[in-house]
Each structure stands twice: as structure tokens, then as C-alpha cells.
Chain A
Amino acid sequence: MANLTAPKMITSMLSKISPRRGVEGLFIIVGLAIILTFIFMAIFAPVLAPYDPNKTRVGGLYESPNPKFPMGTDRLGRDILSRIIWGSRTVLIVTFLSMALSSACGVTLGLISGYVGGKFDTALSLFMDSLYAFPGLILAIALAVMLGQGIMPVTVSLTVVYVPIYFRMIRSEVLSMKESLFVEAAKAIGAKGRTLIFKYIFPNVIPSIPIVLSLNAADAVLTLAALSFLGLGLPAHIPDWGFDLRMGYGALTAKIWWPGTFPGLMIVLLTLGFSLFGEGLAEILNPKLSGG
């Protein structure tokens, strides 16, 4: 896989997704379908949602699912379906944003640290390893407590939690590539530092990123929902599935199941979408790991 340019690599990746790999192909397709559905939901929220998600008393309080409110209403009389649809926006924005940031940070730091080596690398790795050893949720809680509520603080919390993953992965790939022949060859023709890193090493590191991105996205959705569930997430005026799930606990014993079940279900589905996609991708690109 040495020295292919990025476009060539993507095509070679895609060509491996042949119909022969039945089950894994199914995973990818279903996963992608789910993700795209939610993206669609998020983009067209204003059009799709029948009501204003924050408007209280559009219907009765705790109305059970009926044709007017397919998912029922919550304790403030808000339409749950609309909250779900708008909530997808929230989740996807935070997730994609934090994934972009953490991968950018992690990959860059990993590239630099792996390449430069020495004390800088040792120190940074130690720091990253400690961060990594923490349960993601606990770390996110710690950060969120300090940073307070709001989309940006929550995004930052999530970003920090995932940076070590990219860092470690990229760094180890860089380390193994540093010794490889083609880097030697590049050096021999006079390539230096920055060029070496970005033009030669980086393109070869790219293939492993999408899988990690996808699986991390799944994790991020769960962590975000957990933060909201624990009361650390977003302010009340932003529709958020985790928060709604929490609220749904209130009327449980009265057999009012819909305010909690639907938001929670969405969380699970979106996570599943990312997971299936990531897993399918992983098994196709790394068949050894699947054992199948």
C-alpha cells in the first residue's frame, strides 16, 4: 500500500466492497441507510416537523400516541415527534463537529509526535495514554461539569475524550512507517520534515481513519446522550434526545411509556447506524479480524 495517492486509495477501498462479502455488505448498507435517514431528518427538520418542538401545550399533557401526535406528547404537552426530528439536528451537529475536531487534533498531533519522537513524544504519549485510560463518560462528565452547558462546551468535552484514540492510532502507524523503505527513499531525494509528514506519511495513514470515525461517532452519540441524561448537556431550549429520555422517567409507573421510549429508541438507532457502518467497513477492509 506504499505511496498511493489518496484518490487511488479510495477507489481501491471501494472496490473491495464486492457483493461476495454478503453479511458485511449488508451491515454497511443498513448502517448507511440509517445514518442518511437521520441526516435527512436533521436537514429538513423545519419542513418535516409538524409542530414547534418547544411549544408547550400543542396538545394535551401526556397524550398517548394518536394520529394527530404519532408519538404522543410529553408532560408539557409538546409534540414528541417534532422534538425527535429537531433533536436529530442537535445530535448530528454535535457529533459531526466533535468528530471533525477530535480527528483533526488527534491525527495532527499523532503525526507530529510520532515523527518528531524524543522527549516531546514521550511526554505527549504519556498524557494521551492517561486520558485514554479514563472511562470516556467519566472524563466527559468532568469536562462538562467545568465547562457548563451549551453546544460548544459539550462539543469540546466530547472532542477531548476522543482525541487520544486518533492520536494513538496515527502515532503507531507513523512509528512503523518511519522505518519503512519508502520513507528512506523519500529522504534520500531530499524531502524534509513537513513534506515528509504530509505528502508521504499522511496519505498512507488515511485508510484507517474512516472506520475509527464511524465507531467513534457511535460512541459519541451515546456519550452525548448520557451527558444529557445526567443533566450535563444542553440547555433546556434545545431539543435533545437524552434529556427527553430523562424526562420520560417521570411518569413510568403510570404506564406512560412514550415520552421516554421514543427518544431513547432514536439514540439506539443512530448509534446502531454508525456501529453497523463502521463494523461492516472494518470487516471488509480487515478481513482477518472478522474471523468469518
Chain B
Amino acid sequence: MRMGVYHRKLDLKNGCVDLSHGSGGRAMGQLISSLFHEAFGNEWLDRCNDQSAFDVSTGRMVMTTDGYVVSPLFFPGGNIGSLAVHGTINDVAMAGARPLYLSASFIIEEGFRFSDLKTIADSMGEAARGAGVSIITGDTKVVERGKADGLFISTTGIGRLADGLDLSAEKARVGDRVLLSGCLGEHGVAIMSRRQNLAFQTEIVSDSAALHGLVAVMVAAGGNGIRVMRDPTRGGLAAALNEIAHQSRLGFRLWEEAIPVKPEVAATCELLGLDPLHVANEGKLVAIVAPDVARSVLAAMKAHPLGCDAADIGEALADDHRFVQLSTSFGGGRIIDWLSGEQLPRIC
């Protein structure tokens, strides 16, 4: 809602959110207008309706939703805002779809600084524009101090699937290749480096990025030869591949030496007793690809800026146990299991 003239401008430098900003009154209108519309600006929001109407093309649409509770809110390489845009875009893109629209819902704790909220909203706007996606509707709620840890964001994404494209885990077949788009573990390690009780010096920044551009070149190269794609976020590559193994009733064998991990990430994981295969990513994807198109899909990935470290890391096997196995760089073998318990809460 845009309410016209206000008595006083929001004090973006020193002010903070209070309960009136969630009350539905003029203060809320001012907050939405001054911060969110300003940051997201597009033709839909400019109409100031409680919803937005958009044209639908023929064919299949894709929809997904995700909540973001990352702690801390600001981390090297991004913040909760850019993450909330990239993460949901990526969930749409993993279907092979082109993301079009987002909604954004904010749950804000009273006392949250306008300046931080503006930084977050601005980076959401920037991330959305960078991805060619519009945030066309939203919601703002304010809760009492102590009832939310600063800010939670929920985003929903809608995208359009190219005609005839249908990616799904059960389409994986024995002999399919496992392609990974880049180095593992950067998001998780960047977050850890800013945790209050863990702070350590590192140059590592989160890999948070929108992957639909990379997906588009992969789909162009491989079409339905790409069986399924996942972005390995919480639980890392281990969780993503175990999910696919479970759904496809296949096993996988990976080659440890083929899996790209930056030395800084490997060293941090070593220090903290973590396995990079379990650490979260926010700008990587793993694709199960038919062997006849694997080479061309991998070449397309490597030619894209977000896939320059892409690698063929393994293959699908017939396996009733649905194990994800690893041939270690040491010459032995082991299982890559789901992570038990919680390695690190509130990573996204």
C-alpha cells in the first residue's frame, strides 16, 4: 500500500521497527513504501494491491516456497535477503524452469534497525533484478522482542517450464553420470566463520547465487537427458545424493579425487571436524545426466561463470541398498550417509 504524504520520513539511519509497523496502519504503509517498494520497485508493486495478477503462458508452471532463518543475518558473500531470493530461485530452477515471480513475507522482531532492514531489502531487490525475476507481492508482520531472532523471511517462487521438459529423480538410470557444478562447502563455512562462539579468520565467502542461468545452458545442451537436478543446501551433497538414490532406487559411486573443494574450505572442515560433503552450499547444483549427453552438458557448465569448476564426480549403479559410495583418494571405499543430527543449525 502506498499511503501518500507522511508527517515525518522514516529515520533510516537511527530508527527501528516497532509494533506499529505491523499494525496495518499508516506506519506499516510507510515502512512498506519506503523500504520494500523502494528496493523491489516494479510495475506490479506500483499498483499497491494486496495481490498481483500476471499473465500465464501455456505449458507447465513450477512453484516452490522456502523459509529463511539464517544466523547471523549478514555473512561474507551475502545476507538473509539475497539468500531468500537466490534459494527460492534455485528451487524453481532445479526443475529446469525459468523463474519469473517471487513473493516475500517478512516476520520482523520489534527493535530491528531500519538501516539493517534497508540493506537486506536492497540486496533482495538487487538479487532479483540480477536474476531477471520480480518480487510482485509480499507481507510484513512485526512480533514482540524475543519472539523472533531479528528477522525471518519466507519467499515463494513461480517459474515456467520449457515444453516437454520433465526432470525427476525416478528417471535416473544405471550408468548415468553425476555432475557437480563447482566447489563444495563455501556457504556453510562462511556462516560458521561469523558465528559468535566460533569466529575465525577466513577469506571464504558464501557461494549464494541464482543458478537458473546455468540451468538454462545445461537444459539447452542436455534436454531430458538431464534426469534430475538438486541444489545441495542443508545436509550438503551427501543429503542431495541420498535423496536421489532413495527416490530412484539406485546407488551412486563417487570419486573423492574428482570432487572439487577449495583448500581453505577443506582446512576449515578439517579443523572443525566436518565433512565438506555434509556442508551446505547455496550456489551449486548436482545433476544426474544420461551418459550420452554428459560430456556436452559438462562442457556447457564449464563455459558458464557459475560452473567453471564443474566436474564429473561419479556414476549411478544398480544397488538395492541405495548406498552412496565413495572411492576415497586414499584408495579405499566407504559409504556417504545422511548427516545424523544437526551439524550446524540455521544455516539458511
A and B together in one complex: no
